[in-house]
Every structure is written in structure tokens, then in C-alpha cells.
Amino acid sequence: MSTANQGASRPPTRAWRGSLALAACMLLATSAAHAVRPAGQPGVDWGDPKGQECVDCHMTENPGLYWEWNHSQHGQNGVTCLDCHQAAETDVDAWRHEGTFVSIIVTPKDCSNCHTKEFEEMDGSHHAKGGQILGSLDNLLGEVVGGPAAVNAGCKQCHGGTLEFVDKGRDKGRPLPGSWPNTGIGRINPDGSLGSCTACHGRHRFSKAQARTPDTCGKCHVGPDHPQIEVYNESKHGIIYRAKVDEMNLESDKWVAGVDYSAAPTCATCHMSASPSEPSTHNVGERISWTLRPPISTKLNLVKLEDGNEFDVPEGQPVPAVGDQAKGSTVIEVLTWKDRRSNMEGVCYSCHELSVIEGHYKQFDDVVELYNEKFARPIAAVMGKLKEGGYITPAPFDDKIEWTWWEIWHHEGRRARHGAAMMGPDYTWWHGIYEVAQHTYFKWIPELKDVVSKKDGNDAVAVALLEAHFKPIEGHDWFFNGMSKDQIDKVRKGFEARYGKGSLK
């Protein structure tokens, strides 16, 4: 249970289930209270009548922009251009346009004037920090091995980058083309805020339905190192979603899993949206108990601070308590990895029985542990020994074996872990553990022997490292001693039953 909130959700139990029906009825009865509209009073907090001049002009100058805005809830509620774009003359992004200072950039802080809760949940989250990638190996590859242009048009379009502006002359305050357009989820804005609401709610419709569809997340969560959209598409959830998308009620103001829709979950359902037991949140990390990104996965406790920031503490490390000082602020809430998993289980329970939820997490945990213990930990240990012994340099990516290890954990290992997390069997095995194993045994180990032989003239140290770090692990026994007769005979019987006697040579 959260140490700051005694009402935090618990794993589904039989005693807990009884309240769900009542909660669902209450949610249905109070749907009007969940209507999405700006906070405050029209004409006071929003609805600046001066903005009508902007509307009238852009209706002819940029008709597509106008129609998107007019069909949005902003347009239908009278939120005008100036409510979002007006700027102070002293702002670095203030551009004098038709006698008024405006900013082309609308930041999360601007949106917070009406959407305070959403801003506070997003601010400090993993998404908001997405643009802080300068110290990552991914960014090093992009900047040095690829080139800055690739990073600008590639990496930063998902992660976000620092926006820059013309600092003098007629165009003072307009964004520089090199840094704009950019709607990266962790964009670094001139007002100090992080992120871009339009990463998920595209300008100028700001659609709820768009943010709830898997394709929106798939713009960035795609590809060899984080194929969440591919995994989702092959999962039963993704298959049913596409078959029953007309039943998903995606435009609804209130969108509670199991109440307003039941066909299938989307990414938003599991990571952000409401269920009968969970409120909605714009903090996508609150329901994630494992980190599947690094070479070795760990379970993570989440620490939230009074200044709006938060940080993770890996399982087994000391966790500060509520009221403690940490990272220059005061701890206001702690979610253990079990709390975070409980939050996700609460969403699952909207549509699944307890046995399904427990069974899924058992299968997921087993795959992560298999990857960690059989492959990641021993390889990481050997790579450390190679650096200590001078067999490879301290610099990354200047030895072939480092590239191989990078792809084992950063591509194939991530695919396996995400496949298991999201019930994508092909990514768990063929694009995951199969490739981890193939490249460990038939690329990484030969390269290990090669780098040792180049320095020593023989591979004795490599053999010793394998004996120390691989041989004690039961799963590698087949590699050292060959498959047992029982293992081969078991496969032979099945093969011959299908293809005939003598078919397995």
C-alpha cells in the first residue's frame, strides 16, 4: 500500500471485488461530472473575445487549422486562439503578430491554466523527462555514429528537444527551423516546462479519441528496441481492438474500462485511463512495476516529491519515507513496486478474473527472470572483466563485441521482455529470447574468444570466464555438454509422430 495514501488500490481479492459493482454504478450515474471542458468561467478565465479576430482571419488563411479547432471541444466551448497563444512581450518566444504578442509554441504550462490536474500528473513523469537524452548511449550513437541531422529529425521528434528562437529583428520570437517543429513528449520549453501535450492530443483538434488509440503511442513506441505497438498488434488485445473499434466509445468524455467500453484495452487503458478501482492519470509510470529498458531489469519503487519531480528506486535499495528530504525536496508519496503492480492489476480486473491476472504476471515475471539470470547478468559480468583486463577499451562502440552485447540487451532482450509484458508470443520468443540465445552462443561467445586471443595469443581467459559465469547456470548445460539423450529422444518422438519414422536425422 502507498505509504502516503491509505486508500491506494490493493491487488484484487474476493472481499475487494464486491465494491466494484457499486463503483461502476456510481461512475455511470456521475458521467456528466466527468465532461471534458476548460476549468473556470467563460469570458474570464478563457474565451477572450479578442481571439475572434484570429478566428476570422485563420478561417480563410488556414482553413484546415480553423476547421480542426472549430470541431474540437475547445472550439465548441469558446476557447479562442489567444487563450492558448497569447504571450507577454518579455517572453523569449513572444512574436509580434497583427499588433498582438503571441507564441507559436503552446506549452504544458500554458495548458495548465485550465488543465491543472493533467499538467501536475505529467510534470516530473518519465514522459516529461524524455528530452533529457544527452547522457544516453542511444544519443551517442545518433550524434556520433549517425549524425546530428538524424537526431534532430529522428530521436528528438519522439524524445523532444530544446526549442530555440529568433532573438532579434522582425521575426524575433519565432521558433528557429532547426528546432521546430517538435512535439516530442519531453520537449524542453522556453517557460521551463517539459513536454508537449500535442504529442498525444494533436493540434488543433486536441482529440481524446486520438490519445486513446494505440497508433498515437505507436508513433514513438515502435521499432527494434521498443516494439510496443508491434507487440500490441499481435496480442489478443490488439486483435480484438481492431475488430471491435466501433465499440470502443473513444470519443466519450468519461472513459472507464469495463463501464464505458469492454471490447479491449488500448495503451491508454492500461497506463493512464480510469477503471472502476483506479482514477485516470497522466503519469504513465505509476502502474509499471518492472523497468524493461536497461541491460538488467529491476523492479522499481516510485518516490514523489513536493516540487513535482519524482524518481525511481530499484528494489533492494533504501527507499526514503514520506517527510524525508530527497533530491532537494520533501517526499510526499511512495509507491512501492507492489503498489504499482496493484494499480495495474486493478485495471486488468475491470475485464479479467483473478486467475488470468495472476497467471499473466507469473508468465511475465518468469521471462524477465530467465532473460536476467541466464543471459544478461553473466554477459554483463564478462563484459566488465574484459574492460578490467584491457581486452576492450573503456569507450563504447569501438569494439565489435560491444555492438553485439548492445543489440542483445537493447534490441532482442527488450523485445522479449516487452513481448511477455504485453502478451505478444512472437516477440517473446522468435524476435526475443530466440535471438538473444542465438546471438549469445554464435556471435557474442565467438567474439569473446576472438578479443581475448588477439591480446593473449590464446583464448584461455575467455574459456575461464565462460566456465565461471556461464557453466554454473543450468540453462547453459546443453552448450557445454550437448543436449541429453532424453531431450533429443523426446523431440524425436514428436517429430516422427508428425513426419514419419526416421524423419529426424
Q: Which three cell numbers stand for residue 67?
A: 476547421
The band of 190, judged by pLDDT with boundaries at 50, 70 and 90, is very high
The set of residues, in sequence order, having a beta carbon less than 8 Å from that of 38 and lying 6+ positions away, is 45, 46, 74, 77, 79, 114, 115
The yes-or-no verdict on residue 184 having pLDDT over 70 is: yes
Predicted pLDDT of residue 260 = 97
Quick one: which of 129, 135, 189, 179 has its CA closest to 159?
A: 129
Length, in residues, of the chain: 505
Question: Cα–Cα distances in Å, from 180 out to 176, 189, 193?
Answer: 6, 11, 16
Predicted pLDDT of residue 124 = 87
Contact of 345 with 357, CB cutoff 8 Å: yes
Contact of 413 with 371, CB cutoff 8 Å: yes
Minimum mean pLDDT among 135-144, 256-265, 310-319: which range? Answer: 135-144
Burial of 472: CB neighbours in 10 Å, binned 0-12, 13-18, 19+: exposed
Strand partners, 127: none
Burial of 494: CB neighbours in 10 Å, binned 0-12, 13-18, 19+: exposed
Task: Report residue 378 CA to chain centroid gap.
Answer: 27
pLDDT in tens, 403-430: 999 999 999 999 999 999 999 999 999 9
Q: Which three cell numbers stand for residue 249?
A: 466509445
Which three-class secondary structure string do you get for 256-310?
Answer: EECCCECCCCCHHHHHCCECCCCCCCCCCCCCCCEECCCCCCEEEEEEEECCCCE
Q: Show the CA angle centred on residue 163, arms to residues 162 and 166, nearest 5°.
A: 140
Contact of 42 with 19, CB cutoff 8 Å: no
Share above pLDDT 90 across residues of the chain, in percent, rounded to a whole number: 84
Each residue of 342-378: b (16+ CB within 10 Å) or e? bbbbbbbbbbbebeebeebbeebbebbebbbebbbeb
The yes-or-no verdict on residue 18 having pLDDT over 50 is: no
Question: Cα–Cα distances in Å, from 299 out to 12, 338, 341?
Answer: 20, 9, 10
Contact of 79 with 71, CB cutoff 8 Å: no
The yes-or-no verdict on residue 27 having pLDDT over 60 is: no
Predicted pLDDT of residue 134 = 74
The yes-or-no verdict on residue 11 having pLDDT over 60 is: no
The band of 38, judged by pLDDT with boundaries at 50, 70 and 90, is low
The yes-or-no verdict on residue 26 having pLDDT over 70 is: no
Quick one: which of 272, 156, 258 has its CA closest to 212?
A: 272
Average confidence (pLDDT) over 429-439: 98
Q: Which three cell numbers stand for residue 287?
A: 502502474
Separation between Cα atoms, residue 70 and residue 74, nearest integer Å: 8
Q: Show the CA angle centred on residue 281, arms to residues 304 and 291, nearest 5°.
A: 60
Contact of 107 with 119, CB cutoff 8 Å: no
Domain ranges for the chain, please list them: 14-24+212-348, 108-202, 354-472
pLDDT in tens, 231-281: 999 999 999 999 999 999 999 999 999 999 999 999 999 999 999 999 999
Share above pLDDT 70 across residues of the chain, in percent, rounded to a whole number: 92
Average confidence (pLDDT) over 11-16: 44
Separation between Cα atoms, residue 405 and residue 388, nearest integer Å: 17
Helices (H), 62-169: 63-70, 73-76, 81-85, 108-111, 116-122, 137-140, 148-150, 156-159
pLDDT in tens, 330-368: 999 999 999 999 999 999 999 999 999 999 999 999 999
The yes-or-no verdict on residue 22 having pLDDT over 90 is: no
The yes-or-no verdict on residue 57 having pLDDT over 90 is: yes
pTM score, whole prediction? 0.90
